[in-house]
Structure formats: structure tokens, C-alpha cells
Structure 1
Amino acid sequence: MEKTINRWWVVFGAILIQLCLGAIYAWSVFTPALKAAGWSKLETQIVFAVGLATFAVVMVFAGAKLQKWGPRYLALLGGITLGCGYLIAGLSGGTSFWGVCLGVGLIGGAGIGFGYVVPIAVGMRWFPEHKGMITGLAVAGFGFGAMGWVKAAGSWGNLIDTIGLSQTFMLYGLAFATLVTIGSIWMKMPPAGWKPAGYESPEQKAGSGGEEFQVDEMLKSPQFYLIFLTFAVSAGAGLMSIGLMKLYPMEALQASGYSSLEANSIAGTAMAVFFSIANGIGRIVWGSLSDKLGRKNAVMYMAGSQGMILLFFTSMAGQEYLLYLGAALIGFNFGGNFALFPALTADEFGNGAVGKNYPLVFLSYGIGGILFPVLGGVLGDMGNFPIAFSICGVACLVGAVAVAMVFPPHRDEAHQPFSVHGFLHHAHIFDHDKKDDLF
């Protein structure tokens, strides 16, 4: 019998990889220096949006190639591509819009797309009994990584001030390629037929993760589009917040009487410490909670609470401690997306098919990553940051309602014409089989 590795090494490798892939969330640390070099607020958000969109599109391709190429190769490809992207941004001078957009946005985003699906798919196969928790752990590094890269470039390491944007980009590129290469060592699926001691495979029934949907079958289901919508608005709102978490609070704080230096320090702390740490913690906590509450209920609570927080954030951004609280709550809920939606996809459309199916769901992240950050940049240039956050808040509340209508699909229904009456008949606000866990 083939010898198996300790499955916790898989978690270590996954976190190491995600620490680097999460660099895209550190983008806001570069925006003040780029603005000082003559960039507009919209240009800073375009690079961010290009990275997010490329990430999502390439992830679909990577998911389709996962079985053929293998997880270790895909992870390695992702790390090298990401590293090369940042090297190109640095070699272009660090302040060239097209050089940075190509390197960090297009090539760097592609590298993240190649690598991101690997820890999720591999982790679920090694920990089938704790899908929510292990997905949260696997992607926690993506959230925590932002804090490290932000602080290294900013107030702790002072890399941007010391060696400049160009050298900082290149140094990050080398670090990303090296660390992801190390993490890829443990990216290997368990042997055929392996399962944890005492674990029984799920029954072939709807919503259990045991009924496998092909991509075309999933695309015919209304559940896919409801999940897609919710992920797009929930993730998109958080992505806009990331892009503006330094620019908007700096303006709000100065309007409240803080000096420029004080506002810069407070806004940087809100993003690099409170948002980033809560982002990582939210992935683990929401993932673990979903194993108890039911995946749909957890998503509904997360999206609904995020909507309310975003609506109140405009009155919090100008006060130091309220800003810290708001940044932490937004980060906490935002992080939950990346633990909950892979697990919800596995529950609805099959555990074994998640590597192929989740990248299609994740396209919503790319759509949200284009629309909402660009919306924030446009409204910011117009002096209307508060309106942008309010629009995002309402969108999240709509998403909570949409996911409330998700019900377990059946593969035989995927081959039948869609019926609104049948959909409404099956739709429930709560997962009835999870009610006992709620009360």
C-alpha cells in the first residue's frame, strides 16, 4: 500500500502558498506612492481590478487542468508566474502604469489563478470530514499574507521608502517564487481509496457533497446563479473596501481634524493590522461555523451583516477606533467568503468535482473585482466615497436574500427544463436538516 504523508503537512504547504498569493490584497500599500508619482485614483484601481479579473479567469483554466497536470505542477507554475509578474513591474521602473498593470495585474493575477485552486482542492480531499474548517485554514494565509507584505513595504520594513517601488516589487517577486515552490512540495492528492479513520463517504443525495455534477449540469441549475450573484456582490464589496481602505479613511480622518501624518498612520494600521488579521481569522471562524450552522445559513448571515456594516462605515471612517472596528468587521466577513463558497460549491455540486466547478463560481469574484473597485475609484475621483460604500452595503443585503433561496439540487433536475414554480417550491430560507444546530 502506498505510504501517505501526515495530512497536516498539506495544511502547512497550503498556508505557505496562500501567504504569497494573498499579495494582491497588499496592493493598497503601493497606491499612495503611485499617486505621488502622478497616478489617478482610478488608475490605482484599474491595476487592482485587472489582477482580480485575471486571477478569476485563469483559475477556470487551472481547475480544468488540475487532474491532468497535477496539483504540484500547477502550484509551482503559479508561484513562478506570480514572481515573474512582480519582477516585470519592478524592471519597468515601478511607476509605469502599463508596466505595473502588465506585471502585477495581468501576469501576477494569472499566477494567483494558477495556484489558488490547488490548496482548496487538495485540502478537501485530505480532510473530507471538515470541509469548512480546512478550507478556512487553507485560505487563511491569503488573508494573513496581506498584513505581512503591507507592513514589510510600509511602516515596519519601510521597503518603499528605503529601496523604492522598483526594488520592492522585484524583492517581492523573488520571495513569492521561492515560498510557493517550497509549499508545492506537499500539494499531492491522497492515494485512491484513502479516507480518514472513522470517516464514511457521504451518501449519494442532494446537498451532501456525494452527488457529483459535471460543469454543464451545474450551469443549468438555478442554484449556481444564486450562489454566483451572492459571491459577486459580497466579494466585490470587500475588494472595493481593500482598494480604498487607506485612501478613503485618510480623507475622512483629515476632515475630522487629524493631521495628514496622523491620518496616514491610522489608515495604514486599519488596513494592515485590523482588516488583514480579521480577514485571516474570518476564513477560519466562518469555515468552522459553517460545519455547524449549515453552509447556506452561514453565507446568508455573513452577507447580511456585511451589508449593514458597509452602510454604517461612512460614519465610522473618520474616527480612529470606530475605523479600526469597521475595518476589522469588514475584513472578518470578507475573509469568510473564501472558506464558505468553496465548501458550499462542494456541498451543492459534489466534493470530488469542486476542483472543476468552483473556478466557475469564482468567476463571480472577477466580475465583482472589476465592477466594485472601479465604481469606488470613479466615485472617489468625484469626491463621493460614502456613496460607493452605501451601494456596496445594499448589494450585500440583496446577496443575502439570493442565497436564502438556494436549495439542494438533484442531478436529474439538471436535465429538465427550469421551472420557476418548481424552484420556488423547493426553495427554503433555512436548511431544515441544520435547524437543530441553530437552536
Structure 2
Amino acid sequence: MSQTRSGATEGVTGNRWLILVAGVLVQLAIGAVYAWSVFSKALQSDQAFGWSKSQATVPFEVAIGMIFIGSYIGGRIQDRRGPKIVALTGGVIYSVGVLLASLATGSSFWLLVLGYGIIGGFGLGMAYIVPIAMLQKWFPDKPGLITGIAVAGFGFGAVITAPVGQRLISATPDMPTKAFLPLGIGYLVAILIGASLFRNPPQGYLPPGFQAPVATTDGHGAAEASGTRDFTANEALSTPQWYLLTAILTLSVVAGISLISVAAGSATDISGLSAAGAATLVGVLGLFNGAGRVLWGWLSDRIGKMPAFMGILGIQGVCLLLIPHASSVAMFAILAALIYTCYGGAFGTMPSTAGRFFGVKNAGAIYGLMLIGWSIGGIVGPLLISKLIGEDKAYTLGFTVVGIIALAGLVVPMITKKPAADRVLAERV
């Protein structure tokens, strides 16, 4: 058996790093969605469409809401047909949606919602799930770190798109949607290059020198059975742990995306930054979104998954309570950076947590289903914060409410433990 496994790994080990780079490239392209606040601010300008804050948030909300549908379908197909076809299909759909959004005008709100929101969001979800599920199979020796790096590309997408998008918008300030044309073309090229390299490792693949662990610890440091059996999607859904993990992801998304959706406007209104300065800050904050995915993914492998999630929710909650009072640019930037870091951290930590709880064989379907938390949070968070802030710019009320929600959510990781594989197996029999 060891000879077979060695033969299976020979000649493919080096490729896994190239596949990791390809996965990050795809995530960079689709992660541009986190630069939406730059476009939202432009759409509200009297020089452009003069839309309300709530109206300008809708395309982003719809896009995040569609991610679950795309990731659910994409994850199911990926587990059966492999990663390349799913990533290529999702990437093309996403790019087409962005290109369609470039045709929207002030009187065609529906077109922006259809292109950027429905079509773009569906393709985004389909492409997003692929590298996360695929790379856990290539890197069983460092799942938290590698999935953190993979999804870091998603967080870093705004670093590139925010300043580029602002420059494109400045060229046609009366028609900011024109910026989506060159952006959509760029996204398509990047995704086609990256996704063309995707593939699963050979059956039975393990990196040289790595042996599957015989035991793990739960999120609280207690020893437990390794849980090497792979759950099916239906089996995972029959456990309370799937719903608890999804709740943790939802709470973190609500907390972080509430700031992300209004980052540019709140930076201007609270700390006095100019529009250009706010756009630059949004881009810089994308670095923390991406870095948080790597940092918390790595940290969760060492301190445990549930302690990591307690840190993520707790830091977000405290910073949200403080940020409406951050009148200086430096203080606003520090608090926002911490929120972005923890928001990204949930996405860097949750894939490996799901893999540890339920196995990696059906990771596409199981984690794809779990991303309903992203969609729920992505709709609730921006809608809640925009309604609370309102036209009166009541940032203290808005961020305080969301901060309290995050802190109250600390109870969920406190009660979450790894499922007993033997119990689920018995129920299956």
C-alpha cells in the first residue's frame, strides 16, 4: 500500500504549489466584489445617478445572496466532475455578469442588479468554492494555512480593484458603471488562466513524509477520535454541528460586511477622509481582509478552531462599538483593519474546520451548503447597517447594534464540538 501511495505522489507534489498560485489568482478576480463601496459611493453622487444609500447597496446584497446558490451547485458538480470545469464555467458567468453591469444607466437599475447581482453573484459562488475544496485535498498536512492563503486572494481582490475602479470611475464620473467593462475583461482573463490549471490529486494522495493523524483535538483542546471517515452532505446536515458552524460564519459575516458595505462612506463621514482617500483606504483594508484569512487559518491550527472563532467574533464586536467614535483617520483605520482581519479570518478558518469535522471527500458540497451563512449575512448585514444609519448618518446606532450582535454570538463557538463519527455511522447503518 505504501508503494502504491508513493507512486501516486511522485511527480505531482511540486504541482500542488502551482495549483495553489492558480487558486489565488482566481480568488483575486472574484474577490473584487469587496470593493463595492467605491462603486456604491459613486452611484449615490449627484453627478452620477443620485441613488439612495439603500438603493446603491442592493446590487452588492444580491451578489452576496447569490453566492450560496452558485457554491451549492458548483460544489455538487465539483465532487463528481472535478474542479476545472466548475471553475471555468463559474468564472465565465461571473465575468459576463460584470460586463453586463457596464451597460447599466441611472434609469436601468434592474440591469445592474441582474448583471452584477444575480448573474455575477451566481458565477462568483460557483468559482469560489472550487479552490477551497480542491486545495484541502492537495494540502492535508496544513489545511488551515493553505485554505487561508487560498481565500486570502479573495480578500486581496479589493486591494487591486478599489484604486483601479476609482480611477476608472473618475474618467467617467457621470456614468460610473462604465468602469465594469475593463474590469470584467480583466477578471475573465485571470480566471481562465488560473482555472485551466485546476485538478484534484490522485486517489490516495498524501504529501511525502506526511501521515494521516490518528487523533486530533477538538476546539477546546480535548483529545478525540480523528474522525477520518468522510461524511456525505446529507449526513453532515443531520448533525447539529453543521448548523452551529453555519451560524458562526453568518454572525461573522454580518459583523464584518456591515462595515465593508459602507466603508468608503463611513471613512469620509466619521474621520473626514476625502473620496479619493477613502477609496485608497478601502484598497488597503483589503490587505487586512486577505492577511486575516492566512493569519487566523494558521492560528486556528494551533490554538483550536473554536477559540479562534471566539477571538474573531469578540474582536469584531468590540471594534464595531468603538469605530463610530473614531474621529481621527488613524484610529478609524486601525479599528477598520482589525474588523477586516477578523472578517477574513472566519473565511480562512471555516473551510478547514468543516474539513476537520466532516472530512474532505465531499468538502465541495458540505462547505458549499455552509456558505448560505455568507449569503444570509451578506444580505442582513448591509441592509441592517444602511437602514440603521439612514440619511441622518446615525453611525453610532448602526455600528453599536451590529457590535452587540457579534458579542452575543460568542456563545455559539463556546458550545460547538466536533461530531461523533461513530454515532452518525451507526445512524446510517
The one-letter amino acid of 2:401's match is I
TM-score calculated relative to the size of structure 2: 0.90
The one-letter amino acid of 1:396's match is A
* Secondary structure at 1:128 match in 2: coil
* Secondary structure at 2:371 match in 1: helix
The one-letter amino acid of 2:238's match is K
Aligned-pair CA distance for 1:185: 2.1
d(CA) in 1 for partners of 2:50, 2:109: 10
The one-letter amino acid of 2:260's match is I
d(CA) in 1 for partners of 2:259, 2:227: 33
Residue 151 of structure 1 aligns with which residue? 163
Q: Which of the residues 395, 406, 410 maps onto 1:400?
A: 410
Aligned-pair CA distance for 1:137: 0.7
* Structure 1 residues 311-370: Cα deviation after superposition (integer angstroms, max 9, x where no partner): 111112x31110110111111111101111111111111122221111121111111111
- Alpha carbons of structure 1 residues 135 and 324: separation in structure 2 relative to 1, 3 Å: same
Q: Which of the residues 245, 248, 253 maps onto 1:227?
A: 245
Aligned-pair CA distance for 1:399: 2.2
Residue 178 of structure 1 aligns with which residue? 189
Question: Are 2:293 and 2:341, in contact at CA under 8 Å, matched by a contact in 1?
Answer: yes
- Aligned CA-pair RMSD: 1.9
Aligned pairs for 1:352-391 within 5 A: 352-383=361-392, 384-391=394-401
Unaligned runs of at least 5 residues, structure 2: 1-6, 217-223
d(CA) in 1 for partners of 2:107, 2:159: 22
Residue 236 of structure 2 aligns with which residue? 218
- Alpha carbons of structure 1 residues 181 and 398: separation in structure 2 relative to 1, 3 Å: same
d(CA) in 1 for partners of 2:105, 2:188: 20
Q: Which of the residues 409, 413, 423 maps onto 2:419?
A: 409
Question: Are 1:302 and 1:336, in contact at CA under 8 Å, matched by a contact in 2?
Answer: yes
d(CA) in 2 for partners of 1:143, 1:240: 15
Q: Which of the residues 301, 309, 321 maps onto 2:311?
A: 301
1:65 aligns with 2:83: no
Aligned pairs for 1:132-281 within 5 A: 132-154=144-166, 158-163=167-172, 164-203=175-214, 208=226, 210-253=228-271, 258=272, 262-273=273-284, 275-281=285-291
d(CA) in 1 for partners of 2:112, 2:386: 18
Residue 20 of structure 1 aligns with which residue? 29
Aligned-pair CA distance for 1:149: 0.4
Identity %: 34
* Structure 1 residues 113-161: Cα deviation after superposition (integer angstroms, max 9, x where no partner): 110111111111111010000001111111111110011011xxx1111
Which shows bigger deviation, 94-103 or 347-356? 94-103
Aligned-pair CA distance for 1:409: 0.7
* Secondary structure at 1:8 match in 2: helix
Aligned-pair CA distance for 1:410: 1.2
Residue 81 of structure 1 aligns with which residue? 93
Question: Are 1:279 and 1:334, in contact at CA under 8 Å, matched by a contact in 2?
Answer: yes
* Structure 1 residues 260-283: Cα deviation after superposition (integer angstroms, max 9, x where no partner): xx432443333221x211111111
* Structure 1 residues 372-393: Cα deviation after superposition (integer angstroms, max 9, x where no partner): 1101111222532322211221
Residue 4 of structure 2 aligns with which residue? none
d(CA) in 1 for partners of 2:226, 2:350: 15
Question: Are 2:351 and 2:367, in contact at CA under 8 Å, matched by a contact in 1?
Answer: yes
1:341 aligns with 2:359: no
- Alpha carbons of structure 1 residues 207 and 174: separation in structure 2 relative to 1, 3 Å: farther
The count of residues paired between Structure 1 and Structure 2 equals 405
d(CA) in 2 for partners of 1:368, 1:207: 33
d(CA) in 1 for partners of 2:58, 2:105: 18
Residue 127 of structure 1 aligns with which residue? 139
Residue 66 of structure 2 aligns with which residue? 54
d(CA) in 2 for partners of 1:94, 1:65: 38
d(CA) in 1 for partners of 2:419, 2:305: 14
Which shows bigger deviation, 243-252 or 105-114? 243-252
Aligned-pair CA distance for 1:287: 0.8
Question: Are 2:319 and 2:336, in contact at CA under 8 Å, matched by a contact in 1?
Answer: no
- Alpha carbons of structure 1 residues 118 and 186: separation in structure 2 relative to 1, 3 Å: same
Aligned pairs for 1:420-439 within 5 A: none
Unaligned runs of at least 5 residues, structure 1: 418-439
- Alpha carbons of structure 1 residues 247 and 291: separation in structure 2 relative to 1, 3 Å: same
